[in-house]
Amino acid sequence: MIQSMRKWASLGAVVIGVSSYGVVQAQGFAGGPAIAAPVANWSYLDHSSTAGEGALRGQASVISAAGQNIYMSSLASINFEEAYKRAIENSVALTKAYYERREIREEFMKKYGPRPFVGEARRKAIEYYQPKRLSAQEFNAQKGQIAWPHILRQEQFTAIVSEIDAMFAKRDASNSGDGSLTQRQIAQLCQSLDVILKENIGRVTADQYISSKEFIRSVDLEAKTALPSELLPLPAEAAGEIDSEPIGNEGVAPVILGDPNLSTVKSVQTNAKS
């Protein structure tokens, strides 16, 4: 009996395998999913007329169940491999889409994006926002006098403005320019002016505030500008040289070559006698 069941099971597996191969081929499986057809070979309404027929029906059901189990397992393996294959394809497609989007964005930004702020445009912008030198009407460089705007002449600015005026008046070539003691002190005073101006922003208009702030920046820039160097005196042996040419009984006062002020030449009466 057992050998007979084994024989029928082997025969059923072969039959089911051949039928499943035909089903898969009929479905055109060459890399696509495998779909199992519904199995409806048993019904509780059927019954056997004899005991032998019931035994045979039982053996057939066991064989059919074993074959269906093998068949369904093979379909599950095929579907798993197909799902894994599609997962790989999706990951490749996702990677390609990512880099294609980057290329599209780079092309768009290259065509429509902002241009780098370099070259002549950058130079003009920097020059526009740099503080400007005070004009001749605003600053007398020879006397060190500043013509402050009316906003900065108010009482709250008087003390600091007076100190800045005093420092500009006493500047010389040896104590002027960026990094000098006078420049550093004036820079601190200009910062104090800027703070006081900001505290009084509600008392002035927008234009007055901006113009006053720019004027303070210009004052700070003037403090960084060094005064021209004075002429140095000649050595002692050259200082006594005289450049004169007597004409008749009259002559010209000697000109000291080391004298920085050549406008002090005076005509004097000289004695032509030896």
Helix (H) or strand (E) holding 139: strand 139-140
Question: Rounded CA gap, 250 and 255, in Å?
Answer: 15
64 in Cβ contact with 41 (< 8 Å): yes
pLDDT digits over 45-94, tens only? 566 677 777 788 788 888 888 888 898 999 999 999 999 999 999 999 99
Please tell me the predicted confidence (pLDDT) of residue 130.
86
Between the alpha carbon of residue 258 and those of residues 109, 194, 254, 268, the distances in Å are 68, 45, 12, 20
Please tell me the predicted confidence (pLDDT) of residue 172.
85
Taking CB atoms within 8 Å and a gap of at least 24, the contacts of 118-123 are none
Query: How many C-alpha atoms does 208 have within 13 Å on its Cβ side?
Result: 15
- What is the pTM for the complete model shown? 0.44
Q: If you average pLDDT over each of 5-14, 152-161, 249-258, 260-269, which comes out highest? A: 152-161
The two tokens of residue 122 are 């950058």
Phi, psi dihedral angles at 268 (to 5 degrees): -130, 160
Q: Other CB atoms closer than 10 Å to residue 179's CB: what's the count?
A: 8
DSSP β-bridge partners for residue 251: 268
